[in-house]
Every structure is written in C-alpha cells, then in structure tokens.
Structure 1
Amino acid sequence: MNTSTRRAIFLDECGVGPLWVRRHAEIVQLVTQPEVLIAEIANAPVGTIVALAPAILKAEFVDNVAIILTPALALPAAQAPGAQAEADDLMSAWEETSLPISTAPTTFDPLQQIPQNIATDSDTVLADIAGMDWRQLKAAVSECTRCGLCHGRAHTVFGVGDERAKWLFIGEGPGQSEDQVGEPFVGPAGKLLDNMLLAIGVKRGENAYIANIVKCRPTNDEGHDRSPSAEEIAACLPHLQRQIALIEPTVLVALGKTAALALLALDPSTLVASLRGTIHRYAGLPLVVTYHPAYLLRKPADKAKVWSDLCLATTCHAPVLE
C-alpha cells in the first residue's frame, strides 16, 4: 500500500479531508494503524493537546507530533498555556466576521479612497509606476512615502520568488516577522504556505511569486498587527499592479479577505466564504480566492477547503502548461 493510500485511509477514519502533513517515515507507519495512534495520543501529556472542540475527530501533524482535536480531549483555555497568546499574535484580518454572506457583493473600489494629498499626484505617479522595470519598482517601493505606514516600518516587503512565475500568491500585508526581515510569509504562516505550495507541486522561488497588497506593516496604537485601511491599500495597490504586469502570471491566488476584496473591488462586508469555489477575473487573469495561512493556523479544519481551492486554481493553470 503506498503512502498516499495510507494517508487517505487515516484521514477517512478521522472524518476530514486532505491535510498538509510532513512526509516522514514514522508518520507513514503511524497512519497504517489509526486506532493505535488515537489511543496513544489520548494518553499523551497535556501539552500535546490543543484546546479546541470541533464536532468530529480530527488530527493535525506538527513537527512529527500528532495533535488530536476532539470534544472528549479538549481542555479549557486556562489549561493550555500560551494558546491565547499565540492566537493574539496572529493578525485578525484573516478571520471571517459574523456578518451574513452577501448574495450580491457591493462593488467597492479602493482606488477611490485615495486621500487628497495622494490624489493630487496620482496621475503622474501612476504613469511613472506603470512604466517601471523591476529595478525601478523595487527602488520606488523602498523609498515610498505615499501613506503613513512608511513611518513605522523597519523594512518594506516587496515580494519574493520567480519574476516570471506562472503562480502569483497575494496576501494582505507584512506582519512583525516580515517587517524585520523584509520578506513576505515567514514564520508559522509562511511554513504552512510553503507546504501548501508543495502540495500542488510548486516551491517558493520556483514558478511561484509571493506578494502582498501593501508593502509596509500596518499596526494599531498598541503596536499590534492590523488590516490595512482603504487609503493604505489605494496608495500601495499600483505597485502590486505593476508587479502583476511584469510577472505575467497564469493564475492569481488571493490569500484571505483583504487581498480578495482589494483585487475584486468588493464591499468590506463580503466574506471569503462567499467568494470561494468560483474562478474570478482580475485584469483578464483567472483569480481564485482562498483562506489565509494564518487563518488556517487558528482553524486547521478548513485546510480541506483550501486544498479544494488550490485544485480549482490548478485547473486554471494546467491548460497553459499543455
């Protein structure tokens, strides 16, 4: 029995769809006997159990440690030290709101939200950006002062990857780790994104480019990460538009709500769930919307949905390869 079959049997036993797991021999051995694995982890130390309570049994692999998520094993939040702090470290931008799904999303153009001081020079600046090559664009981003985010940044986060990539993944904006190193998607969310790419046969830097809607880290008054404002998005979006034009990707994947709404010019009340499962268009290119990796760290059960979204994106990409 091959590895993929064993993995499918285990996931079926757990009642969940595909998950990204590390492909190590000891995991393969474990999943051949799921009932033994479940029994062993049920008796594991408290530190290996996550304080979540989904309706059905699920399993997650983190650094070769299987974590069981089930009501019977769920612990109160107070018994899981650091769990809340870890959640607080994640940007809130990738959480779905409690608003009902809009059946007819309202058009919302972030470029109409440009403040007066930016609007006065927008025609000239947009024309300049539209004619830049990679070197000029990187220099312009590194020196950009078109919105207030420039005052708090350690580094601009331009983007990373193959500049002729067929896959373009677009997130919201840099977090603290990204701001420190100047590269998008580092830390736990970045590692998960890398695993997502590997699941569809793509590697960071090889036929994939990763960017964000804004190039500087948005923070609130307490210094915590936040979603960028409409004005900040409007000021920075022309840089991303030029990146798209230079890369000429085959398919765009919007990671999370902010990226999806900015690219599709939709009302802020629109939910990611209402945009999934459909091939949208941006500048004539196919665009698939899915959840942000940071959101998946908080709600791992939705990884199966993201797998479905990536498979949909693959259908857009495949004809170009043939």
Structure 2
Amino acid sequence: MAVEKQAGHAEVRAYLEYFRDMGVYDFYRNGEPQAIEAATMEAVVERVESVRATPVAPVVAVVETGPSVPATQAAAVGFDIAKPVSFDDLAPLPEVRVAAGDRAAALAVIRADIGDCTRCPLAYGGRRNIVFGDGDAKARLMFVGEGPGADEDEQGLPFVGKSGQLLNNMIGAMGLSREQVYIANIVKCRPPANRAPEPVEANTCTQFLVRQMDVVQPEYVVALGATAATYLLGVKQSLASLRGRWHDVRGAKAVVTYHPAFLLRDPRQKGEAWKDLQMVMAAMGLKQGK
C-alpha cells in the first residue's frame, strides 16, 4: 500500500510540475504552493484511490458524429490539415482584386469567400455567427486569439465578452484604442463548449487568417495564448519558451503572450503579459496610456 501511495505521489507531482511550467497555479487558492503541496498530493491520491475502489455500473456509449469534412474540401486547403503548419509554408493564395489601397474592400472580398462556411466540423457545432475580424484595415498592430466564445458567437465580433473587455484595457494601456488595431482569431466559428480548436479545424480556417494578414499588412502581431502561437508560428511549444522574444509571421514581428481569458483566471500573470506588450510598445514607439 505504501509503495502504491508513493507511486501515486510521484504521478501527481509530475502533473503539478507540468502545470507550473505552463504558468498555471490555480491549484493553490490559499497559502504558498510549497506549504500545501504535500497535503494537495495526499488528498488527490486518496481521492483517486477512492474512485478506483468504487464499483460502477456498465455504461453503453452512444457516439454522435457530425458530418465529416468532404475530402475535396480538405485537399483544397493545400496542406496537411492534421497538424500545425507554418504560415510561410502555405501554398500561394488567390489574389484579391480591389481598388488600389482599399484594404477594407479586400477584407470584404475575403469575408464573401468564406460565405456560410461548411469547410470543417465547426460548421455543425451549433454556431450562430461566423466571427471574421474587427478593427482598422490599415492597422500597424494585430491581435490574434484562439476562437470565438459565447458572446462573440452571439454578436459576430471577436473579443466582446469579459476577455474582450480585458483586451480593450490592455490595448488602452498601450496608448491605443480598439479602433486602431485589428483583431481576429485562429478559427472563426465557436468550438463547442469553448474547447480548443482541433488541428483539422484550425488549419482549415487559417487560410483566411493568412489572407486577412496579407491585406492588413500589420507591422506587429500579438499572439494571445498557446493555440494562437501554435498556428501562427507552426510550432507546438510551451508558452514560456515562446514568450520574451520576437518571431516572424508573414513579414510581421510577432510576440506571444497570455490569452486574456487565462489572465482573468490567474491575474498574477498580468505583470508578465504587460512585459510582452511593452516589447511591442517600445518597437512601435508607443507611450503608456491612461
């Protein structure tokens, strides 16, 4: 029994260390992590052992599957939709022909191309609106998030819920307004239950984000959260390893920081996010707003 409990401690410790590396500390609502780590592991191990010892009735699983993505549509994307790809590896995209310098019209063409999209399973997940993008079509700075939430799905605009309010405050602290930047997401339809987008969904949708970036031509990009970083940079690494340095994305200089939703859950990381934004401010010559 002692050996099993020791093994359980090691397993839980590994999980705790993993989440610490990811910047997640929500386990510790009161007190210092070091002081309660032993009690936390003891409680978790005992709970796991209790659950394992409890008999359960047989369960018959009924799996509902939505319509699959047609193979022709998947092939038309131009890359392997099963894993992240670098933006720079994408096949050349069709040229958007509009009046010279009319970037707003060019964005409207892209939105028309998206149409009532059924290219990936998110089309069948109960979405209300396709959330395209918002802001200045000639913005120097672009923010890219993960995907729409319930408020965004309702209104058809990115970052309008509590996360959006925090993002607006972050933009204001940089000395800018929301109207002076451009905001978009990796996917334009809300994933069910606000889960992270699957690779097939994200990679199918990023072709339109690439076109948006090519039209807006931002000088700087802020990737909000791990999902945005993964699909903007084409690499799957920890947020900690990607923060604090510049990355190249479609000719723009990009930084990676925490998603506003994460900052709402763990306000202690706001200072770290502010350091990331200060990198952009210094490069753009911005002064802190009120």
Give the aligned partner of residue 216 of structure 1: 189
TM-fit CA distance, 1:308: 0.2
Give the aligned partner of residue 197 of structure 2: 228
User: Unpaired runs of 5+ in structure 2?
Assistant: 1-27, 36-68, 79-90, 98-105
TM-fit CA distance, 1:120: 2.9
Checking the alignment, whether the CA contact within 8 Å between 1:286 and 1:316 is kept in structure 2 is: no
Distance 1:236 1:283 in 2: 16
Cα offsets for 1:56-101 (capped at 9, x unmatched): 9xxxxxxxxxxxxxx9xxxxxxxxxxxxxxxxxxxxxxxxxxxxxx
Give the aligned partner of residue 123 of structure 2: 150
**Aligned-partner residue type, residue 298 of structure 1:** R
TM-fit CA distance, 1:314: 1.7
Query: If the length of structure 1 is used for normalisation, what is the TM-score?
Result: 0.59
Distance 1:257 1:148 in 2: 21
How do residues 39-78 of structure 1 correspond to structure 2 at under 5 angstroms? 52-53=29-30, 55=32
**Aligned-partner residue type, residue 272 of structure 2:** K
TM-fit CA distance, 1:245: 0.7
TM-fit CA distance, 1:55: 4.3
Give the aligned partner of residue 80 of structure 1: none
**Aligned-partner residue type, residue 254 of structure 1:** A
Query: If the length of structure 2 is used for normalisation, what is the TM-score?
Result: 0.66
Distance 1:52 1:188 in 2: 22
TM-fit CA distance, 1:135: 1.8
- 1:201 paired to 2:168: no
Partner of residue 248 from structure 1, selected from 212, 217, 234: 217
What is the total number of aligned residue pairs between the two structures? Answer: 205
Give the aligned partner of residue 294 of structure 1: 261
TM-fit CA distance, 1:318: 2.9
Distance 1:299 1:288 in 2: 20
Percent identity between the aligned chains? 42
TM-fit CA distance, 1:218: 0.7
Q: Secondary structure of the equivalent of 1:120?
A: helix
Checking the alignment, whether the CA contact within 8 Å between 1:130 and 1:242 is kept in structure 2 is: no
Q: Secondary structure of the equivalent of 1:305?
A: helix
**Aligned-partner residue type, residue 76 of structure 2:** D
TM-fit CA distance, 1:213: 0.5
Give the aligned partner of residue 77 of structure 2: 122
Distance 1:284 1:218 in 2: 29
Distance 2:277 2:142 in 1: 12
- 1:185 paired to 2:159: yes
Distance 1:263 1:287 in 2: 9
Partner of residue 263 from structure 1, selected from 232, 257, 268: 232
Give the aligned partner of residue 21 of structure 2: none
Distance 1:130 1:115 in 2: 25
Could you say if the C-alpha distance between residues 115 and 318 of structure 1 is closer, same or farther in structure 2, counting changes exceeding 3 Å?
Answer: farther
Give the aligned partner of residue 96 of structure 2: 131
Partner of residue 149 from structure 2, selected from 175, 197, 200: 175
Checking the alignment, whether the CA contact within 8 Å between 1:214 and 1:233 is kept in structure 2 is: yes
Distance 1:139 1:316 in 2: 34
Could you say if the C-alpha distance between residues 178 and 167 of structure 1 is closer, same or farther in structure 2, counting changes exceeding 3 Å?
Answer: same
Could you say if the C-alpha distance between residues 191 and 204 of structure 1 is closer, same or farther in structure 2, counting changes exceeding 3 Å?
Answer: same
**Aligned-partner residue type, residue 151 of structure 2:** S
Q: Secondary structure of the equivalent of 2:285?
A: helix
Checking the alignment, whether the CA contact within 8 Å between 2:77 and 2:207 is kept in structure 1 is: no
Partner of residue 283 from structure 1, selected from 244, 250, 253: 250
**Aligned-partner residue type, residue 285 of structure 1:** A
Checking the alignment, whether the CA contact within 8 Å between 1:165 and 1:247 is kept in structure 2 is: yes
